[in-house]
């Protein structure tokens, strides 16, 4: 690698004890953004509030010029315009999407990367063509084992120059549960630039790294893909030198709309004594959420929140609510989701070197003011 490039594209690292957020992490945090937690009030996340993570730059992509190739181990290679895509029967799915690195900046020690706290989530309705429709038309050959998806965003990561590229096992790519979409609309309109304009992949139930944006190529291969984003990044590992396990589906998580009002700088919540509604949403990429618990004493005791009837299909978050009687003093509210597979959120951090799939429970410090203030 070029010496100048080596100096600016460093290996992954973990922050030292007490090391504050670095200028590089801040530069990522200023570009990418989470969903302000009060936006949990919206069933569908309004434009600009859905979380965004862009590895490199948002490409300058024009819908009129866009082509999507389907090639490799297929009998009928395709080269599709956006009009071609729109000519197929479409499917609309409501999908809660979350970044695999959500929660990373709360870990000790902290993996140095995009420093998410808990808000890298959002829910949208995505419209597109089922991937299996396109693969059927392209007539996948029998030796194919994976589909590799290439996005148009280009950059360097840990010394490796690359287009953003990820694969799915063939069984997932041609399956219908989840129904994988080649999507061209978000909440009924064209995709915004930062969400993959004009076309992206949507893999319901999987973390964001699978949802390749600015999708320009689909290639069927007879060997598993070993590119950077598959075999170097997005692996659960304890140390840098082990192969690790791939990051795939979203672990369960519940989030609460922080009650009361915030202090500008500390973001601590302030409220007044009395009964106050608590509500939020919960999701899992493995199975439906069947239980949400809430604690108002930092996890010492718990009670069950009421779960509203699921709406929008199996891939969207589920609304929950309960109430709490606030008394003067400091409290810590905690919430925890459990899914139908029995997966639940840990109370202690499940550390891994990339800071992936971390679904440690949300903790909301609250100050309740004295009566009459």
* Window 51 to 80, contacts with a copy of itself (CB under 8 A): 52, 54-58, 60
Smallest separation (angstroms) from a copy of itself to the CB of 151:
13
Q: Is the dihedral of CA 80, 176, 119, 43 positive or negative?
A: positive
**Residue 277 interacts with a copy of itself (CB under 8 A)?**
no
Nearer to a copy of itself by Cβ, of 250 and 368: the residue is 368
At closest approach, how far in Å is the CB of 116 from a copy of itself?
7
Which lies closer to a copy of itself via its Cβ, residue 55 or residue 166? 55
> Per CB under 8 A, which of residues 124..183 are in contact with a copy of itself?
154-158, 161
**78-80 and 68-72: which strand pairing?**
antiparallel
Task: Retrieve residue 148's tokens.
Answer: 């590799």
| Binding of residue 49 to a copy of itself (CB under 8 A) | yes
By CB under 8 A, tell whether 20 contacts a copy of itself: yes
| 310's tokens | 């699921």
> Of residues 261, 275, 300, 348, which one binds a copy of itself by CB under 8 A?
261
How many other C-beta atoms can be found within 10 angstroms of the C-beta atom of residue 330? 10
Residues 6+ apart with CB under 8 A from 332: 296, 297, 298, 299, 363, 364, 365, 366
Q: How far is the CB of 18 from a copy of itself (least distance, A)?
A: 9
CB of 228 to a copy of itself, least distance (A): 10
| Residue selected from 98, 119, 125, 217 as contacting a copy of itself according to rule CB under 8 A | 119
> Between 52 and 174, whose beta carbon lies closer to a copy of itself?
52
| Cβ-contact 255, 284 below 8 angstroms | no
The CA distance from 312 to 316, in Å, is 6
| Interaction of residue 36 with a copy of itself, rule CB under 8 A | yes
Report d(CA 35, CA 37) in Å as an integer.
6
């Amino acid at each position: 690698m070029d010496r100048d490039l080596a100096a600016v594209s460093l290996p992954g690292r973990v922050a030292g004890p007490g090391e504050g957020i670095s200028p590089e992490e801040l530069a990522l945090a200023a570009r990418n953004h989470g969903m302000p937690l009060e936006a949990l009030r919206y069933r569908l996340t309004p434009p600009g509030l859905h979380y965004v993570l862009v590895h490199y730059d948002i490409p300058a992509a024009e819908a009129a010029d866009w082509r999507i190739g389907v090639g490799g181990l297929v009998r009928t290679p395709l080269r599709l315009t956006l009009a071609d895509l729109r000519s197929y029967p479409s499917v609309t799915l409501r999908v809660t999407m979350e970044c695999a690195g959500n929660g990373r900046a709360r870990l000790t020690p902290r993996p140095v990367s995009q420093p998410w706290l808990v808000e890298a989530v959002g829910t949208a309705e995505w419209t597109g063509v089922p991937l299996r429709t396109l693969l059927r038309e392209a007539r996948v050959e029998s030796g194919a084992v994976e589909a590799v998806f290439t996005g148009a965003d280009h950059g360097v990561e840990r010394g490796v120059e690359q287009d953003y590229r990820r694969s799915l096992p063939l069984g997932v790519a041609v399956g219908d549960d989840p129904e994988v979409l080649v999507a061209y609309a978000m909440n009924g309109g064209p995709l915004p630039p930062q969400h993959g304009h004009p076309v992206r992949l949507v893999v319901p139930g999987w973390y964001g790294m699978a949802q390749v944006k600015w999708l320009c190529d689909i290639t069927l291969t007879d060997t598993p893909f070993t590119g950077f984003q598959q075999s170097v990044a997005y692996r659960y590992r304890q140390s840098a030198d082990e192969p690790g396990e791939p990051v795939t589906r979203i672990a369960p998580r519940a989030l609460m709309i922080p009650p009361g009002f915030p202090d500008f700088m500390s973001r601590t919540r302030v409220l007044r004594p009395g009964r106050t509604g608590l509500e939020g949403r919960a999701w899992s990429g493995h199975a439906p959420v069947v239980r949400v618990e809430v604690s108002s004493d930092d996890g010492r005791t718990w009670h069950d929140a009421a779960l509203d009837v699921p709406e929008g299909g199996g891939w969207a978050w589920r609304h929950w609510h309960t109430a709490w009687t606030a008394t003067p003093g400091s409290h810590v509210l905690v919430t925890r989701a459990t899914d139908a597979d029995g997966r639940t959120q840990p109370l202690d951090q499940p550390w891994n070197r990339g800071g992936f799939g971390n679904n440690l429970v949300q903790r909301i410090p609250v100050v309740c003011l004295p009566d009459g203030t």
